[in-house]
Amino acid sequence: MKKVLMGNHAASWAVKLADVKMIAAYPITPQTQIVEELSEMCGSGELKAKFLKVESEHSAMASCIAASSAGVRAFTATSANGLALMHELLHWASGARLPLVMVNVNRAMAPGWNIWADQSDSLSQRDTGWLQLYVEDNQEVLDTVLQAYYIAEKVNLPVMVCYDAFFLSHTYEAVDIPEKQAVQDWLPPHARENILNTKDPRAFNGLVMPDVYMEMRYKLQQAHEEAVAVVKEAGESFAKAFDRSYSTIETVYCDDAETVLVTSSSTTSPARLVVEALREKGMKIGLMKVRLFRPFPVDDICQVLSGKKKVVVIDRNISFGKGGIFADEIRGAIANDPQAPIIFGYITGLGGRDITPELVEDIVMEAEKNERPERLALWKGLKS
Amino acid sequence: MIEIRIHGRGGQGAVIASKILACAFFAEGKFVQSFPKFGVERRGAPVEAFLRYDDKKILLRNNIYTPHHLIVLDHTLIEATNVTSGLQKGGWIIINSSKKPQDFCLPDYRVACVDANELAMKYKLGSRSSPIVNTAILGAFAKATQMLKIDSIVTAVIDEVPIKAEDNAQAAKDAFEQTTI
């Protein structure tokens, strides 16, 4: 069934189709409509889940941790300062190896108070042990939230699905909503051992001495490393069931490209237009969309970028004192490759400023003109 | 690709109008994208909503700056704000007004009018002080631009409007008949 849906409601539909049993949330723009729709679904009885209204995002995540510890599918959604307030418990969710799913609608961190698109909120939770996927359009929102449960429950790790404020969250476009039965056939019911159970009481997450802690961290890292293959497997099996395929990255025209443009989230869409137009003019350019950010799909990315002349990364985010975060991750991933390309890292679109095809083309042509970047953090679209 | 901008005041239903129009174009086989002006809305304050449609997947993810056509839910906005900003020459301006198109001095554009306030009153949509005119005006849009069928608008209204769906649909049909060009 195809329906015209806003990105936020595409997320709500996915949660309903995944048969989530517990939703806890605190409202924050631009996420609110996700849980607003879910509360209506719970109210009308079409979704048989417990909807928990809580007094903060910290409590929302605590509730999800509790529900997931008891072995049920749990969900929450947030943005920006709401996500930041969860920070402590994000570590808890991954450390306790809970297969939670959360949507983070990417919104700028305050101050200055700004509700618009910017990836700095979720990227500053990079080291919390959560998987992170960045998606491009409303169809991918729905499909990725479903895949997030599939992945989370295979690797026992929490998954964050991230998409741009307003450019997706509040934008309506056609979304193919799968049949409930088809989703149930594809996504097995959630069943886990070692859950909170009053009939079989035990203690969880007690004191861990230095003789054990390090091995726990090692296992968490191992789980992340294994998750790369699981993300691919989820995308492939999803394609078999629903005819839409996904992976860790997506490439367009990369095989013979000399320059590769790298994007994530909704920025990928205008970049597709630009790469198509420049190809028609004879330029050897390709596009790589990075969908999986944690674990960082190092091998997949290096395989595409090794031997290229130039890589141009667009970041709608910043790590202050360094530069764009995707650019930096790519530099780190490819550093030991003898055929590493020159990497141009551009920062633009912060706080919801438009990223138009003209702006993307401007970035590509500037990088094309220069042999090397003048500095790690290049800016485009700044007012003079 | 065609780009349309809707001007209204908070509470008049500009955002829902853009969604209904998107649904109607989608039903006619188009690719659609609609969105509100990204920001904070207040009742009575000027608001904008946008729509793109095309025969192929829409890959733009930015605001609309040079729309082909406008829908204006409150004619006082024409004096109060620069509604024609960026509007392409020859574009349609569909205005909710009891006035006639020639009463508006908009020489570069094609103007159509319908008294959507009166139709909202007739079908008791909203209140007298705050009539909801977003469905009626879409009937006028279909009539003037001929870009889509009134039946597509009517079906989209019935599918998307949560209360008084039939009355809203009838308002759109009446507007289709009463539009002055």
The reply to whether A73 falls in a domain is yes
Residue B102's domain comprises 2-178
Please check whether residues A131 and A266 belong to one and the same domain: no
Give helix A210-242 / helix A138-155 axis angle, nearest 10°: 140
Residues whose CB is less than 8 angstroms from the CB of residue A94 and which lie 6 or more positions away in sequence, other chains included = A128, A129, A130, A157, A158, A220
Please check whether residues A49 and A154 belong to one and the same domain: yes
| Gap between the terminal Cα atoms of chain B | 24
* Distance in angstroms (rounded) separating the CA atoms of residues A199 and A201: 6
The last residue of a domain, from among A210, A242, A274? A242
Backbone angles phi, psi at B39, to 5 degrees: 180, -150
Please check whether residues A26 and A121 belong to one and the same domain: yes
Please check whether residues A179 and A34 belong to one and the same domain: yes
Please check whether residues A230 and A262 belong to one and the same domain: no
CATH assignment at residue A342: 3.40.50.920
Please check whether residues A332 and A288 belong to one and the same domain: yes
Number of domains chain B is built from: 1
Task: Report whether the peptide linkage leading into residue A27 is cis, meaning its omega lies within 30 degrees of zero.
Answer: no
CATH assignment at residue A225: 3.40.50.970
Residue A321's domain comprises 250-379
Please check whether residues A291 and A218 belong to one and the same domain: no
Whether the CB of B36 is below 8 Å from some CB of chain A: the reply is yes
CB contact under 8 A, A356 and B60: yes
CB contact under 8 A, B61 and A273: no
* Distance in angstroms (rounded) separating the CA atoms of residues A43 and A279: 51
pTM: 0.96
CATH assignment at residue B136: 3.40.920.10
Give the minimum alpha-carbon distance from A2 to chain B in angstroms, rounded to a whole number: 10
Residues from chain A that touch B35, judged by Cβ atoms under 8 A, are 166, 170-172
Per-residue pLDDT of chain A (384 residues; tens, 9 = 90+): 999 999 999 999 999 999 999 999 999 999 999 999 999 999 999 999 999 999 999 999 999 999 999 999 999 999 999 999 999 999 999 999 999 999 999 999 999 999 999 999 999 999 999 999 999 999 999 999 999 999 999 999 999 999 999 999 999 999 999 999 999 999 999 988 889 999 999 889 999 999 999 999 999 999 999 999 999 999 999 999 999 999 999 999 999 999 999 999 999 999 999 999 999 999 999 999 999 999 999 999 999 999 999 999 999 999 999 999 999 999 999 999 999 999 999 999 999 999 999 999 999 999 999 999 999 999 999 998
Number of domains chain A is built from: 2
Residues from chain A that touch B31, judged by Cβ atoms under 8 A, are 173-174
Q: Hey, which residues does A102 pair with through a beta bridge? A: A76, A160
The reply to whether A384 falls in a domain is no
The last residue of a domain, from among A242, A258, A282? A242
Residues from chain B that touch A171, judged by Cβ atoms under 8 A, are 33-35
The reply to whether A281 falls in a domain is yes
Please check whether residues A221 and A87 belong to one and the same domain: yes
* Distance in angstroms (rounded) separating the CA atoms of residues A164 and A38: 20
Please check whether residues A280 and A140 belong to one and the same domain: no
